[in-house]
Amino acid sequence: MYAVEFYVFAVLVLSAAFLSVSVRHILYAVFCQMQAIVAVAGILAGLNAKFVSFALLSMSAASMLVFLIFALIVFDFRRTQEFVPEKASAVSLVFFVLLCLQTVYLFFKPQWPNEEIAPVFSLPVLGDILYADYGICVLIFAALVLSCMVGLSALLVGKKVQEG
Amino acid sequence: MTINIPVILTVSSFLVFFGLWGVLRHRSDLMRVLLALQLIFLGSLFNFSMGSALFYEPSGLIFSLFMACLSGVQIVVSLALFLLYFKKHNHLTIDRVDTMKG
């Protein structure tokens, strides 16, 4: 049963990735990219890797939200409104409906029957490995994220001070 | 119906291929290049996770977790730089980015 779901999600990932590259406007490309990310998270959830799936979804949601806002800044509606084809809008609508359906499916579906993998990817095992074997990596990545946040704030605030 | 290694490799390599195609196709638009890079990250994340499932070894999942973290950091930092650049020059085309020098 899991194989069928894997193939469905894989087709969704590939089609969304293809559309994300081939669509002309960046706004639709961002929506397609979100679709691809949710489908990958669905595949991960099927492997019982719920923590990684949730982490991927939350981090991608944050970054894609920033991306969407920036795309809205760059996207010139007045210039593009005249020649946006109806086909592009229909494709976006289809992908939005698919996105909602996938989210509902992932939310309401009970434990997927994958008895062999389920104990290997369970959260306690993952936590043990993460903090026993990869503790240094966790520290390095935490320092990386912290330095990025500090650098980002310094960049933006410094610019504001310069402008003021 | 089973999940084979060639299928997994095909899906992940197609994701990486789409990402590379996106980088080459939209090389004049910085934001589209960033989106395509995200696709490449997604492909490698998929590869790590599925390999981890195939060999019953959870280390691949840890690496995919780090990779997701790294891609988020990459997007946020580059978008901040793009925002600063866009506010100053009012465009994001890569042909004129050489004005960032000095």
Give the minimum alpha-carbon distance from A119 to chain B in angstroms, rounded to a whole number: 10
pLDDT (0 to 100) of residue B59? 84
The full 3-state SS of B1-60, as one line of letters, equals CCCCHHHHHHHHHHHHHHHHHHHHHCCCEHHHHHHHHHHHHHHHHHHHHHHHHHCCCCHH
pLDDT grade for B20, boundaries at 50, 70 and 90: very high
Give the minimum alpha-carbon distance from A50 to chain B in angstroms, rounded to a whole number: 11
For residue A56, give the nearest of B7, B50, B68 by CB distance.
B68
pLDDT (0 to 100) of residue A132? 84
ipTM: 0.86
Q: What does the block give as tokens for A155? A: 């960049």
Q: Residue A160: how many CB atoms within 10 A of its CB?
A: 9
Residue A55, SS3? helix
Phi, psi of B29 (to 5 degrees): -115, 115
Count of domains for chain B: 1
The least confident of A40-44, A99-103, B44-48, B68-72 is: A99-103
What is the pLDDT averaged over residues B27-55? Answer: 88
Mean pLDDT of chain A: 77
Share of chain A above pLDDT 70, in %: 76
Q: Is the pLDDT of residue A114 over 70?
A: no
pLDDT (0 to 100) of residue B96? 66
Instruction: Evaluate whether B77 touches A151 at the Cβ level (below 8 Å).
Output: yes
Give the minimum alpha-carbon distance from B40 to chain A in angstroms, rounded to a whole number: 10
Q: Compute and round to an integer the Cα radius of gyration of chain B.
A: 17
Euclidean distance between CA atoms A15 and A101, whole angstroms: 16
> Is B19's CB within 8 Å of A17's CB?
yes
- Select from B13, B49, B50 the residue whose CB has the most chain A CBs within 10 Å, as the one to mutate to test that interface: B49
Q: Is the pLDDT of residue A111 over 60?
A: no
pLDDT (0 to 100) of residue A56? 87
Phi, psi of B92 (to 5 degrees): -130, 35
pLDDT (0 to 100) of residue A53? 84
Phi, psi of B93 (to 5 degrees): -85, 140
What is the pLDDT averaged over residues B1-8? Answer: 80
Domain that holds residue B16: 5-100
For residue A36, give the nearest of B42, B71, B82 by CB distance.
B42
pLDDT (0 to 100) of residue A42? 85
Euclidean distance between CA atoms A55 and B62, whole angstroms: 11
Distance spanning both ends of chain B, measured CA to CA: 59
Q: Which residues of A touch B31 (CB under 8 A)?
A: 26, 67, 70-71, 74
Q: Is the pLDDT of residue A121 over 80?
A: no
Euclidean distance between CA atoms B16 and A62, whole angstroms: 22
Q: Residue A114: how many CB atoms within 10 A of its CB?
A: 15
For residue B80, give the nearest of A47, A62, A152 by CB distance.
A152
Name which residue leads in pLDDT, A133 or A105. A133
Q: Which residues of A touch B16 (CB under 8 A)?
A: none
Q: Is the pLDDT of residue B100 over 80?
A: no
What is the pLDDT averaged over residues A131-148? Answer: 86
What is the pLDDT averaged over residues B58-70? Answer: 86
Q: Residue B69: how many CB atoms within 10 A of its CB?
A: 18
pLDDT (0 to 100) of residue A107? 66
pLDDT (0 to 100) of residue B30? 82
> Is B29's CB within 8 Å of A33's CB?
no
Residue B53, domain CATH: 1.10.287.3510
